[in-house]
Chain A
Amino acid sequence: MTFPTVQPPDETLLPEISDASFAPVLDRRLGHLATLEAESIYILREAAAEFSRPVMLYSIGKDSSVMLRLAQKAFYPGKIPFPLLHIDTSYKFPEMIEFRDSYTREIGAELIVHQNREALKSRAKERIYSFRDSQGQWDPKNQRPELWNLFNSRIEKSESIRVFPLSNWTELDVWLYIHAENIPIVPLYYARERQAVVRNGSIILIYSPDELLPGERAQRIKCRMRSLGCIPCTGAIRSDADTVPKIIEEMISFRRSERENRAIDHDEEGSMELKKREGYF
């Protein structure tokens, strides 16, 4: 899809352009999603060009789906020049693994799966290039200032840098982009009738009877996952949003929602910070 371009807000503020053939070019400007897309593709290419063994962390979530599409775009018609790495914490839903395997096969991406008990966490204060020392530690005092779009990728052998190409995207941007680009996502994001229990105020999906605690009974609840980030605490939300536009509508209306009981905020580190986007290297 191509994005519409933006007309300048007030024509009278513009300098006069004498050459008429130039006017259409100068009057056009990228819209906000196209601007974010351009910036993220730039970051992906920069990472691929400057690092010796880049790998893209792939969490199967919606942010990863967006990252994957951006990577396809960045290197088209070439293949994505780095493997995808899925850190499989083995808590994941079966739908996620299915989606992961079929989708990466479809687009011809190289996939590495790494079994690990602990999910990788990112810190809310990390920006675009996040420097990790030889122990893989993030030291806030040892981060590099980021100026313009000039990233410093110089590291020693034992050190690494985590790159966040979606640093400037909000959750709404991610959904708008998924809609605009028609990006496949794990079906768990869409509202369906699902087997679930309400536990501690959270809706927990139930795949087999042995997941039930004593006294619990599974019921059919129309619900969807808002985030697949933090397992196993991620709960589902009651929802009728079974298409992307409906999800977007739901997101916008969350602002006026009276819903106090929000399992959806569990994965946001502290309620004030927007969650660090999960798409990263």
Chain B
Amino acid sequence: MPAVAPIERKESLAEFLQQDLRKDLLRFTTAGSVDDGKSTLIGRLLHDAKAVYEDQVASVKKSKINRSGGAFDFSLLTDGLRAEREQGITIDVAYRYFSTARRKFIIADTPGHEQYTRNMATGASTADLAGYSQDVFLRLERDFLSFASHLGISFVQCIPISALGGDNVVSSSENMPWYSGSTLLGHLETVDFRQARSLDAVRFPVQYVIRPDSRFRGFAGQLASGALQPGDVLVALPSGQETRVKAIVGFDGDSEQAIAPESIALRLENEIDLSRGDMLVSPSKLPAVSRSFSATVVWLHPEPLRVERPLLLKQTTRLVKARVRRIRHRINVNTLQNEPAEQLEMNGIAQVEVETNQPLFLDAYATSRATGSFILIDPFSDATVGAGMVRETFLDNVARTEERDRAALGVVLEDVTAEERQRRHGHKPGILLLGNRGFLAKSLERALFDDGFHVVVLDASGVLLPALRSFLTSLYSAGLVVLCVNASLEPQDLAGLSAAAAFQPDHVVDLSATDHRSNDAQIARRALSFAEKLRLSPDSNASQKGTPK
């Protein structure tokens, strides 16, 4: 057990203070199943980085608890001896703080969940148990990279470590001469974490309006992304009004510039309508203004999430009423497979479609954490019941579903009637759902087009149900034959869609659900024969020139 060495400070105190102010702040967390060794690793990291007091080390040495099998149980440096006394407490993320010459760190050590990440092959996979073998490491690395790619994580760094032995945690390991990469601490000290917040456009949610007297109006908030200077043009949402930054005011005088995530207060050039919950944004890159979007939701409450249950949603400084309109599928956290789901139980993760009563100003979580995240609150118990990450947003005017009629969906039916269009085209409109058979759509489009059909292919991947209905309605009304691929539709959705959009039942065919034994050629034949039935008989096909009304 190495003793805790004194902090080396060769520089003067003034230099230390100067350098300290230049450190940035990195937050990180542990992830893994119970007993994977997370707390031991953090304890080892704190210990070897000289971030623990001697008396802490001494009391761990004296402690009767030691699950490590070695002389010193590092997990106690993280979990604390108080854990004994506080058993049964369920809030158990332990926060630890330490800093090195280069960075300050905030660590959230999580308890892990037995149900999660079981197959991540971490169990008996610390470097010491693996005999410090490079082969084992390479295999684990390969497995992990493939797992991570399924999660959409693109920056992955694997480091072979043993928390018990301290290998590659702070000091390079002599047990693994084959590894020449950085140690865990070395990586944490140098990793560039700005990709995590890649949006450079301004997002400034108004949090508080400062109005000391009638002459001064300051808009206070934390800059969620981007940078600001006096003179910058901004757009206020939801009003859409343009304005200009007059000054960035502060206790220490006006600033020349503000960068995210600073908490600032702005004076604007002109009097515009702006209050808490509104947002100032870059005119060049607007967020989606939407009441409807898809999201990945984690459910946090014992009572399951059900579709249409009334909820409150908080995103930035905005609190609105919301409902989950549809659960697309649940994600099995072990296999990462999608599973159909009627409801979502506690700790479940699902892709859902959310609708709010007021528009939100949204970016996808992948590009902007601050404007792509939200929490869900039960309006009756006030409990925080869920957390969500925005995936795709959806245009507001087509988001209004059920109650709207066709006109509101953006289809303007003017003088030309459906019959006239049919006579011009020589066929009735039709919709063929082809599932994920994109290649088939391509060859069918060619075949039908060459055969005289007015045909288009609609790739509906990522399109929400209301939007899909709107697109299909438009194309159908235009009299076209639509080959629709990648629509995320359940059978009941299809029935609802047909009814609401007033498609003729015999103008729609779902070939996606076709028994998988039938091969593509059979499906193509069925598609062609379906299209053939849409064709008008030659006598009604008389007027190719159009019929004046």
Contact = CB atoms under 8 A, between A and B. Distances in A.
Interface in B307-329: 312, 314-315, 317
Interface size class of A (residues with CB under 8 A): 35 or more
Interface string A1-43: 1111111111001100000001001101111111111110110
Interface stretch (B216-224, B457-465, B469-477, B510-518): B216-224
Contacts of A91: none
Given A5-B259, A31-B24, A154-B377, A179 B212 contact: no
A255 B190 contact: no
A26 B210 contact: no
A9 B82 contact: no
B21 A180 contact: yes
A154 B89 contact: no
Interface of A: 1-10, 13-14, 22, 25-26, 28-39, 41-42, 45-46, 48-49, 72-79, 124-125, 127, 140-141, 143-145, 147-150, 152, 154-156, 168, 170, 172, 176, 179-180, 245, 248-249, 252-257, 262, 265, 269-274
A270 B81 CA distance: 8
A48 B373 CA distance: 22
B20 interface: yes
B82 A272 contact: yes
Contacts of B384: 144-145, 147, 152
Contacts of A147: 373, 375, 384, 387
A32 B276 contact: no
B249 A38 contact: no
B332 to A, nearest CB: 22
Interface stretch (B30-38, B129-137, B260-268, B520-528): B260-268
A72 B251 contact: yes
A6 B16 CA distance: 15
A145 B383 CA distance: 9
Contacts of A272: 56, 59, 76-77, 80-82
A13 B208 contact: no
A33 B20 CA distance: 9
A190 to B, nearest CB: 16
B418 to A, nearest CB: 48
B336 interface: no
A96 B207 CA distance: 34
A275 to B, nearest CB: 12
A185 B209 CA distance: 30
A177 B222 CA distance: 20
Interface size class of B (residues with CB under 8 A): 35 or more
B377 A256 contact: no
B95 A255 contact: no
A8 B194 contact: yes
Contacts of B406: none
Given A10-B192, A14-B192, A273-B80, A37 B4 contact: no
Contacts of A31: 21-25
B106 A168 contact: yes
B189 A269 contact: no
17 contacts: A1-B252, A14-B194, A25-B227, A25-B259, A38-B222, A42-B221, A74-B263, A75-B220, A76-B249, A143-B91, A145-B384, A150-B373, A152-B314, A170-B97, A248-B17, A255-B50, A272-B81
Given A73-B251, A273-B80, A252 B9 contact: yes
B420 interface: no
B259 A30 contact: yes
B263 A42 contact: yes
B104 interface: yes
Interface in B85-128: 85-86, 89-91, 95, 97, 99, 102-104, 106
B222 A42 contact: yes
Contacts of B218: 77-78
A6 B23 contact: yes
A77 B82 contact: no
Contact of A37 (B53, B208, B263, B370): B263
Contacts of B221: 42, 45
B39 to A, nearest CB: 12
B306 interface: no
Contacts of A77: 210, 212, 216, 218, 249
A245 B9 CA distance: 14
Given A79-B212, A147-B384, A147-B387, 12 more contacts: A31-B23, A32-B24, A32-B25, A32-B104, A42-B207, A74-B220, A77-B212, A150-B314, A168-B97, A180-B17, A257-B54, A270-B80
B194 to A, nearest CB: 7
Interface string B366-393: 0001100111010000111001000000
Contacts of A9: 102, 189-192
B82 A249 contact: no
B55 A45 contact: no
B48 interface: no
Nearest to B379: A154
Smallest CB-CB A-B distances: 9 pairs:
A256-B6, A272-B80, A41-B263, A32-B25, A32-B104, A154-B382, A78-B212, A6-B24, A25-B227
A254 B53 contact: yes
Contacts of A79: 212
A168 B27 CA distance: 11
A38 B261 contact: yes
B192 to A, nearest CB: 5
A49 B106 contact: no
A10 to B, nearest CB: 6
Given A42-B222, A49-B317, A2 B382 contact: no
Given A38-B263, A150-B314, A2 B255 contact: yes
A255 B7 contact: yes
Nearest to A249: B13
B64 interface: no
Contacts of B350: none
Nearest to A260: B55
Contacts of B211: 78
B452 interface: no
A127 B91 contact: yes
B444 interface: no
Contacts of B95: 127, 168
